[in-house]
Amino acid sequence: FLQVWLQTNRPGLHPVYSQARFGADAKSGRLCLIMSPDGEAGSLAFRQDARIFATVLRDGEKVEHVLKPGRVAWLHVATGALSVNDVALSPGDGASFTGETSVRLTGTIHEAEALLFDLPG
């Protein structure tokens, strides 16, 4: 169970609470869109110019997220271990990405679950 709080994209908007379950199959070996401004692809809608992805990676599995110009990313490793752009990360670690064109995640010997935030720069 993970809980994330984000500021709205405009002052004065009231917070909104949503929850959903995205099963391991939806996240396994891929980036599953779980939150977006418009509820794209069955994700939860929220008031922010951001997209949040969840993934579960096993040893050797790889995923890549391409960042559009003007976008940045934040990665949070919830469980397990993975490497991101060839840097090893452990549970609880985070990494920010500015000036990058993509974020590459690779599973290691410990199955990992992570969240990737695609944010305005």
Structure confidence at residue 5 (pLDDT): 80
Return per-residue pLDDT of the chain as tens, 121 residues. Answer: 678 888 888 888 887 788 889 988 999 999 999 999 999 999 999 989 999 999 999 999 999 999 999 999 999 999 999 999 889 999 999 999 999 999 999 999 889 999 999 999 9
Q: How far apart are the first and last CA of the chain?
A: 28
Is residue 51 within 8 A of residue 118, CB to CB? The reply is yes
* Domain 25-120 of CATH type 2.60.120.10: yes
pTM of the model: 0.92
